[in-house]
Amino acid sequence: MKAIHAIALMVVAVFLLVFSVPVQAANMDNAIETSVKQSYVFKTYLEDDDIKVKSKDGVVTLTGTVAEQSHKTMAEDTAAGLPDVKRVDNQLEVKADRPAEKSDAWLVTKIKTTLLFHRSVSAKTEVDVNNGIVTLRGDAENQAQKDLTTEYVRDIEGVKDVKNEMTVVRGEKEKRTTGDKEKRTTGKETRTTGDKIDDSSITSQVKMSLLYHRSTSGLKTKVETKDGVVTLTGKAKNAAEKDLATKFAKDVNGVRSVENLMTIE
């Protein structure tokens, strides 16, 4: 009888194991799909794109259309960095009616996206480009912000020169206490950058920022983020390049601090 009872228990255990594994896998895939859709990058930069997310045993498949190549890259980087994701199959297609690469319209989008990444400049900056010459308009909270905007834009690949006509608004900056949330406009909605941003979205933003800036685009930098702390590894040609990588990464939305472990060739 004891032997029969033991066998019965084993059968029940195997039965429960066989049927529970698919359920656990399905729950994991559902959680992954939700995490991707609720990530900061997807809710902020990719909200107007038509992206469908499907996870199967930790392999995420992205289908649909995006406005530009950078959106396709950011979608993949963000999904790949989320917990339990094993691999990303990026089948996203870039819309055919997008601006021609290196055209003025293409450069406007690139500049606006880069400014959105950085919290020390205004996301509301008006950008006009004529033959690679950029004109900036809008309000800056102070001269330092205006100068930093010029510096960031001038270092973007494709920019020939920058004319900064932004107005420095003194005494009108809303007073904020520690913990208050700074709101920035991105397209149709006003978003809050004071909220916690997921590590995967931070990594994606840092990668794209380093790629867009002329001074760091050629660097083979590996980016990892843990609880908002970004670690950079790879190689830089000199100390100046390494310092710029730290500067650009440190000013990205959600970054708490940067540990630059890059080596100088």
Domain segments of the chain as ranges? 2-94, 104-171+185-191, 199-264
What is the predicted pLDDT for the residue at 180? Answer: 42
Residues 6 or more apart in contact with residue 135 via CB below 8 angstroms? 127, 128, 129, 162, 163, 165
pLDDT at 21: 54
Contact 258, 246 (CB under 8 A): yes
CB 75 within 8 A of CB 92: yes
C-beta separation of 129 from 104 below 8 A? yes
Q: What architecture does CATH give domain 199-264?
A: 2-Layer Sandwich (3.30)
pLDDT computed for residue 36 by the predictor: 94
CATH class of 2-94: mainly alpha
Query: 104-171+185-191 — its CATH code?
Result: 3.30.1340
55-98 pLDDT per residue, tens:
999 999 999 999 888 899 999 999 999 999 999 999 999 987 77
pTM to 2 decimals? Answer: 0.79
Is 104-171+185-191 in the same CATH topology as 2-94?
no
